[in-house]
Structure 1
Amino acid sequence: MLDEEGFKELPSSDCLQAVDATWLVLNVLTNGCSTTDAQPVGVTKIAKSVIAPLAEHNVSVLMLSTYQTDYILVREQDLSVVIHTLAPEFNIYQEVNGELIHVMHEEASNGFLKPKQVSLTVHPVQSPQNRFCILSLNPDSLPAIATTLIDVLFYSNSSSREPASNNQDLESIRFFAISLIEGYISIVMDTETQKMFPRDLLLTSSSGELWRMVRIGGQPLGFDECGIVAQISEPLADADISAYYISTFNFDHALVPEEDISKVIQVLQKRQESGR
C-alpha cells in the first residue's frame, strides 16, 4: 500500500501488479483525537460500529492496523455509500489542505447506495505456529537497522511451508510487515526474525506481549468481495478478544494475543461450521 504520489514515482514494470481502484483512508478518532500516542484500539473495537455496517451495504474494505492506530481503506467509488452508512453514528470529517472539514449527511445520496449483502462467503482460516511481535521504531533510528532490514526483506532464506493436512494449522510462515505513516513506523515480525535486530531500538508495550496469527483465505481473496474483515472481527468482538489486522494483496491476517489463540480458533471454527 502506498499513496498516490508514491505510486507515480514507481518505474513502469511488467512485474508490478496493481489493483484497478483508488482507495481512501478512514481513521476512527476517539473524542475527536487520534490514537497515535497509544496502543492500537484493535479492529474488534470498531467491528460493530464501522466494519459490519459497511459489509452489510456491500462495501469492500482493506484493514491496516499499526502500532499507533487503525486504518480502514475503502474504494473512492464507494465513498458516498460509506458516508451514508456511517453518518448516523459518526461525525465524518474530510481532510482538506491539512484541515478537517465536517461532511454533512445530506451530501451522501441514497441513489448511490448498493443493495444490501444477503450472504457472505465464509473463508477458511489457518494458524501458523510462529509467535509474533508488534513493534515500533523511532524514525531517527531507522538508519541503524537499515542493513538488517534490507537483509530481512530481500535476502532472508526463510520460506513458507505447506499447510498441515487438517487445513487449520500451518508450520511457521514468513511474515514481515513494516509501515511508515505520518512519520510513525510500525513493524510486525516473528520472534526468530526479531533476534536479528538490536533490541534496544525496537519499542513494544511494557508487557512485551506476544501474538499468534490467523490467516484468512485458502487462496488469494481478491478485492471485490466484502465482509472478509467482518468475518473475523465480529466473532472476536463478541468474544471480547482484541486483534491487530493486516490486509495484504493476497490474504488477510489477524494477530491475537498468544493466550487467546485456542479460544480464537474455536470461535472461528464455530463460525465456519455455521456458514455465517
Structure 2
Amino acid sequence: MDLHILDHKLRVTSISKNGLVNFTHPLIKLIFLRNRTRCKFFSLTETPENYTVVLDEEGFKELEPSEHLKVEGSIWLPLNVVSNGNASSSSQAVGVTKIAKSVIAPLAQQHVSVFMLSTYQTDFILVKEKDLSVVIRTLEEEFNIYREFEGESVPVSVFVPAALQPTVHPVLIPQNQFCVMSLDPETLPSIATTLIDVLFYSSRFPADLLFTSSSGELWRMVRIGGQPLGFDECGIVAQISQPLADSDISAYYISTFSFDHALVSYLFIVINDRYSCQPCFSLMPTSGFHSHQNHTQCHNSDSKMPLQQTVASLLCALVW
C-alpha cells in the first residue's frame, strides 16, 4: 500500500450559525466559481452547532477575520492511502474501516491527533504539520510513503521520534438518515440553486432534498463527545473505527470543529433512538474541495452510554 502526503497546507475553521450571512460571498466563490480562486482543497460540513470549513491557504485568504470565525492554530497536512494493486482486498468494507488498523490505530498509539474527512471516493487523514516526522516513522514499515511536490510524488525518507491511552467519550445518535454519494464538480452549476438553499437556508432543510440513494442503503450518524473535543487528544477515531474494522463493518468518519461524527449503515444500529433530528450537511466536491475534522480530548459522562459499550451494541455515522 502507498501513503501519499498531499501537497496542501490546510486550516481548520468554524463559522457560527448566525454569522454565516457574513461569508456568503466567499463560500459561493469557493464552491461554485473554482476558476476564480486558487483554492484546491475545500470542505464544508454543517452540524447543529456550527459550520466547519477546511481549506488550503489560498482558500483561507478568502475568509475575512470576523468574530463569527474561529480558526484552529495548526497547519494540517492531508494523507491519502492508495492501493498499489498488490494488497489483498477480501473485505468489502468502505470508508475509515479500510484504514482503521493500518493507519488510525498506529497513529493513536503514538499519540498523534488526526482530523478525519471521509468522502464517497476516498478518506483524508489530516495530521498536524509538526507531527509529520512521527507519522512517517510510525507508518514507514506498513506503507511506501510519498510526498507530492509540484505535481510529482517523491519517496519520503524517515526522521525523528515519537510521542501517549485514549479517554472514553460519550456518543449521541440523532434520528437522521443519510445517503452517501459522489458528485462530479462539473455538474455543480446544475444544482447550484438547490445547494445554496441548503447552505444558507437550512431551517427549510427538506427531508428528501438533493438525492436519494440508488442502492437504497441508508446510514445513521453517531456523534462522538458530550462537549467540544478540541484538537490535541489522540485515539478518538481509533476507538470508533477499530471495533468496526474487527467486525468488517463499513463506516465513514467526519471530524468537525466541535465534535466527531461516524456514519454506519442503518442496519447496524440496534439501540433505541432517543434524540431528535438535527440538520447536518456535508459538502465535499471530488476535484478541489472536501469537508470535515478529527479531534482529541474526552470526558466521561455517567449520563451517556460509554463509547466502547455503545460501539459493541450499535455503530453508525454522518455525511454524504
TM-score (norm. length: structure 2): 0.64
Select the structure with the greater relative contact order (CA < 8 A; seq sep ≥ 6).
2
Partner SS state of residue 134, structure 1: coil
Q: RMSD of the TM alignment (CA)?
A: 2.5
Q: CA 1:16–1:267 in structure 2 vs 1: closer, same or farther (change >3 Å)?
A: closer
Partner SS state of residue 209, structure 1: coil
Instruction: Determine the C-alpha separation between the residues in 2 that align with 1:133 and 1:251.
Output: 20
Match of 2:160 in 1: 109
Shift of residue 208, structure 1, vs aligned partner: 2.9
Q: Describe how 1:132-211 pairs up with structure 2 within 5 A.
A: 132-157=178-203, 192-193=206-207, 195-197=208-210, 199=211, 206-211=214-219
Deviates more, 1:138-147 or 1:84-93: 138-147
On the 8 A contact 2:166/2:234 being kept in 1, the answer is yes
Q: CA 1:70–1:25 in structure 2 vs 1: closer, same or farther (change >3 Å)?
A: same
Instruction: Determine the C-alpha separation between the residues in 2 that align with 1:254 and 1:196.
Output: 21
Q: Which runs of 5+ in 1 are unaligned?
A: 34-38, 159-173, 175-191
On the 8 A contact 2:177/2:266 being kept in 1, the answer is yes
Instruction: Determine the C-alpha separation between the residues in 2 that align with 1:258 and 1:252.
Output: 18
Partner SS state of residue 182, structure 2: strand
Instruction: Determine the C-alpha separation between the residues in 2 that align with 1:221 and 1:71.
Output: 19
Instruction: Number of aligned residue pairs: give it.
Output: 222
Measured against aligned partners, the alpha-carbon deviations of 1:150-182 in whole angstroms (never above 9, x if no partner) come to 111111226xxxxxxxxxxxxxxx8xxxxxxxx
Instruction: Determine the C-alpha separation between the residues in 1 that align with 2:108 and 2:185.
Output: 36
Match of 2:222 in 1: 214
| Residue 243 of structure 2 corresponds to residue 235 of structure 1 | yes
Measured against aligned partners, the alpha-carbon deviations of 1:102-153 in whole angstroms (never above 9, x if no partner) come to 012xx3123xx22xx2x21110011111111112222222112111111111
Shift of residue 272, structure 1, vs aligned partner: 7.8
Match of 2:138 in 1: 85
Match of 1:259 in 2: 267
On the 8 A contact 1:236/1:267 being kept in 2, the answer is no
Q: Which runs of 5+ in 2 are unaligned?
A: 1-53, 87-91, 274-304, 313-320
Q: Which segments of structure 1 move beyond 6 Å, counting only runs of 4 or more?
A: none
Partner SS state of residue 98, structure 2: helix
Q: CA 1:68–1:151 in structure 2 vs 1: closer, same or farther (change >3 Å)?
A: same
Q: Identity of aligned pairs, percent?
A: 65
Instruction: Determine the C-alpha separation between the residues in 1 that align with 2:93 and 2:126.
Output: 16
Match of 1:121 in 2: 167
TM-score (norm. length: structure 1): 0.74
